[in-house]
Amino acid sequence: MTVQIVTDSSCCLTKEVAEKAGITVLDLHVEGEGEEQTTSSLSSLELTASYARLMERGGDAGVLALHLSKQLSATYANACVAAGVFDGQVRVLDTKSIGMVLGFAALSAAEVARDGADLDTVVAVAEETLKNSSLWLYVHQLDVLRKGGRLSVGQALLTSTLAIKPILQVTEGKLTLAAKTRTQVKAMDRVVDLVRRLVIDEAVAGKGNPRDVQIAVHHSDAEDQAVDLSARLGEMIEQLNQLEAPTEPPEPRPHSLRRQVRIETWKSLPQVEVSIVSIPEVLQLHVGQGALGVAATLRGTAESATPTEAAADKSAETEEVPDAPETSGANGEKAEDNGAESSDTE
């Protein structure tokens, strides 16, 4: 028997991808027509029925439920109520996110489930994926998010008044401001910079064996812009591959003051895969037309450095010139430090 994975339509997985991975996707509700359209969460009754069918399919292996953040929908709370019926055999995670961050977590969990992992292991893999994932979102107008209660009135008014094109991110399940720009072009520049920073950070931390980076470019009826953004990300990765980072710290420079010098070094860059996904209707109603987003996740297990590597890395990041030798007073006693010691300089 295999642990069953279930998520909802906010995960941005296509039907084909979900079916191939053995993931069940439950549709969140869209009600009304035209400008009166609204969305609603899955009820506890619906979720109980769905979990029961999955329990029957997977036997005693159990079910892992990955729904959008509890800060954004009542689905999580309803899922917890539904899971209570099954005496611990249905685990519900607060993903604290949305979009392909959910999709990545569901795919990684389904992969180990197919290999025969038990429920605890499957849950741990999903949690690790969620922890190592990020989501940035660019929207043309924040009014839609404000009306839906996903963004505060103050944030929306501030950005509209100052003509700011904000980049949002999901932090602890809530939409927060990640960066402020003046134009869409600048916003896309900033998104590329954010992904570049993530790739370099993993290259440095990977110590020659970095985890792979998976990127999903989201779009809301803006496929051409998504293709352009995907191409820009590919160009950025290519430029990094052609860049030779120093693998050893430079020779120490003699000076009289203690000095902190940060040197970024890496032995190899992560493998990066970029895909494009459509934002489903249930999310389009909240982000509006033309929205773009980027989700990124790290795949694999981070390997801890050996003591020798850790020591080498520490010396690479920080050069320290020894303090001046202690001096003695007239009576042979050590002179007290009255704040005359030179302070660190940046």
- pLDDT for the residue 48: 97
Q: Which residues contact 86 (CB under 8 A, 6 or more apart)?
A: 51, 52, 55, 63
Examine the pLDDT at 153 and tell me if it is beyond 70.
no
- CB atoms near residue 342 (< 10 Å): 10
State how beta strands 38-40 and 29-31 pair.
antiparallel
3-state secondary structure of 106: helix
**What's the confidence (pLDDT) of residue 250?**
55
| Residue 65 contacts residue 122 (beta carbons within 8 Å) | no
> Quick check: 39 pLDDT over 50?
yes
Quick one: pLDDT at residue 302?
Answer: 63
At residue 307, the 3 state secondary structure works out as helix
Distance CA 5, CA 11 (A): 12
Mean pLDDT, range 129-152, rounded to an integer:
73
Q: What is the mean pLDDT of residues 326-340?
A: 41
> What's the pLDDT at 114?
96
Instruction: Read off the tokens for 219.
Output: 């779009």
What pLDDT score was predicted for residue 343? 38
With contact defined as beta carbons under 8 Å apart, do 91 and 64 qualify? yes
Where does the pLDDT of residue 33 fall: very low under 50, low under 70, confident under 90, or very high at 90 and above? confident
The Cα angle at residue 114 between residues 113 and 117, in degrees rounded to 5: 40
Residue that is written with structure tokens 């895909």 in the block: 275
Percentage, residues of the chain above pLDDT 70? 73
Let me know how many helices (H) and strands (E) the chain has, helices first: 11, 12
Tokens of 314: 């520490």
> Is residue 94 scored above 90 in pLDDT?
yes
* The predicted structure's pLDDT at residue 288: 82
Q: What are phi and psi of 297, to 5 degrees?
A: -140, 155
Beta bridge partners of 167: 138, 179
Greater pLDDT, 253 or 278: 278
Specify the pLDDT at position 265.
66
Q: What does the CA dihedral 52, 56, 58, 61 come to, rounded to 10 degrees? A: 70
Query: Which of 120-129, 146-155, 284-293 bottoms out in mean pLDDT, i.e. has the lowest?
Result: 146-155
The values of phi and psi at residue 29, to 5°, are: -90, 135
259, pLDDT greater than 90: no
Domains and CATH numbers, the chain: 4-131 (3.40.50.10170), 133-299 (3.30.1180.10)
Mean pLDDT for the chain overall: 80
Give mean pLDDT, residues 82-105.
96
